[in-house]
Amino acid sequence: MLRVSHLSCSRGNKPLFADVSFELQAGQVLHLEGDNGVGKTSLLRIVCGLSPADAGEVCWHGQTIQQNASQFRASLFYLGHGLSLKEELSALENLISDAAVSGRALSEPQALVALARMGLRGREHLPLRVMSQGQKRRTALARLLASQAPFWVLDEPFVALDAKAVDGLRSLLGEHVAHGGMVLLTSHQPVALTVASGASVQVQTYRLRGVA
C-alpha cells in the first residue's frame, strides 16, 4: 500500500507543487493528470525514490521508502521517458539482462511469451536499432509484463503506440489490477481500462496543480 503525504517539490529554485497527498491500495489505479510542466514526471520520480522531495514523505506498507528501500524496489516497476533498453541488444537479450539486473528470475521461454503478447513474435532476435519507435515501446512494455512487480509507475505509457497496442496495454493494466496489482500513471489521454470479461475498471484521478 502506498501513501504519499504532503509532498512538495521545486525545480531550479522555483516551486513546482506543494502539499500533495494521496493513497493507493492493492487493486487500484491512479491516473495523475495535470498541465504540461506542472511536475507530473517529478512527482513520479519522487514516488520511486529517484528524486528527493523538498518536504513530505512517501510510505510503502507503513515505512518510508528510504527505510524500506530494498523491499520497495523489489515491488516497484518504473517506466520513464527513456525506454531503459539497449539499442545494440536484441529485444530478448534486453529483457533477460534487465530482469537479472533487477534481481528477478526470467527464463527465455517466459521472455518469449511476454514479447509475443506484445506483438513482437518473430522479431525477438533483432537488435533494437532496426525497430520502429512503436516496436521499441512495445518491447519496453514487454519488460513490464515480464516483471511481476506489484506496483507499476508508468510515465506516459500510451505514447507512440498504435490503436492495437493501446488496447493491448489497456487490457494488460486491467488484468494487473484485477490480480491485486497497483498502477500509478500519467497520460494526456483519458484512461479507460477493461478486464477480460469486458467489465471496466474503476480509475481514480488526481489532478496535480502547480503552486501559483
Partner 1 sequence: MSGGAFMAVLRRDLLLAMRRKSEVLTAVFFFVVVAALFPLGIGPELNTLRLVAPGVLWVGALLSSMLALQRLFEADYRDGTLEQMALSPTPMPLLISAKLLAHWLVSGVPLVLLAPVLGLQFDLSADALMTLTLGLLLGTPVLSLVGGIGAALTLGVRGGGVLLSLLVLPLFIPVLVFGAGAVEAQASGLGAEAHLSILMAMLLPAAFFSPLACAAALRIALE
Partner 2 sequence: MKSINWFHYAAPQNFYGLAGRMWPGFAVLATAFMLAGLWLGFAVAPSDFQQGEGYRIIFVHVPVSWMSMVVYLAMAFWSVLGLTFNTRLSGMMTRALAPTGALFAFLSLWTGALWGKPMWGTWWVWDARLTSELILFFLYLGYIALTSAIDDTRRSDRAGALIAIVGAINVPIIYFSVKWWNTLHQGASVSLTKGSSMAEVMLWGMLLMALAFWFYTVALVLYRVRTLILQRESHATWVHQLDEVKP
Ranges within 117-146 binding partner 1 (CB under 8 A): none
The only residue of 2, 24, 39, 49 in contact with partner 1, by rule CB under 8 A: 49
Q: Using CB distances below 5 to 8 A depending on partner kind, what does residue 188 bind out of partner 1, partner 2, none?
A: none
15 part of the interface to partner 1, by CB under 8 A: no
Cα Rg of the chain, angstroms? 17
Ranges within 10-39 binding partner 2 (CB under 8 A): 11-15
* Residues found in the chain: 212
The only residue of 5, 8, 102, 171 in contact with partner 1, by rule CB under 8 A: 102
Euclidean distance between CA atoms 73 and 48, whole angstroms: 8
Task: Identify which of residues 30 and 76 has a Cβ nearer to partner 1 in the complex.
Answer: 76
Residue 76 Cβ vs partner 2, minimum distance, rounded to whole Å: 23
The only residue of 33, 57, 59, 83 in contact with partner 1, by rule CB under 8 A: 83
Alpha carbon 81 to its chain centroid, in Å, reads: 10
12 part of the interface to partner 1, by CB under 8 A: no
Residue 139 Cβ vs partner 1, minimum distance, rounded to whole Å: 12
3 part of the interface to partner 1, by CB under 8 A: no
Which strands sit side by side in the sheet containing 2-11, from one edge to the other? 14-24, 2-11, 55-60, 63-64
Task: Identify which of residues 38 and 144 has a Cβ nearer to partner 2 in the complex.
Answer: 38
Of the candidates 122, 154, 118, the residue with the CA atom closest to the CA atom of residue 138: 118
Of the candidates 57, 53, 17, 23, the residue with the CA atom closest to the CA atom of residue 38: 17
Q: Which three cell numbers stand for residue 34?
A: 495535470
Task: Identify which of residues 11 and 129 has a Cβ nearer to partner 2 in the complex.
Answer: 11
Euclidean distance between CA atoms 135 and 165, whole angstroms: 10
Task: Identify which of residues 83 and 195 has a Cβ nearer to partner 1 in the complex.
Answer: 83
Q: Using CB distances below 5 to 8 A depending on partner kind, what does residue 14 bind out of partner 2, partner 1, none?
A: partner 2
**CB neighbour burial string for 134-159, b if at least 16 within 10 angstroms, e if fewer:** ebbbbbbbbbbbbbebbbbbbbbbbe
Interface contacts to partner 1, rule CB under 8 A: 48-52, 70-71, 73-74, 76, 78, 80-89, 93, 97-98, 100-103
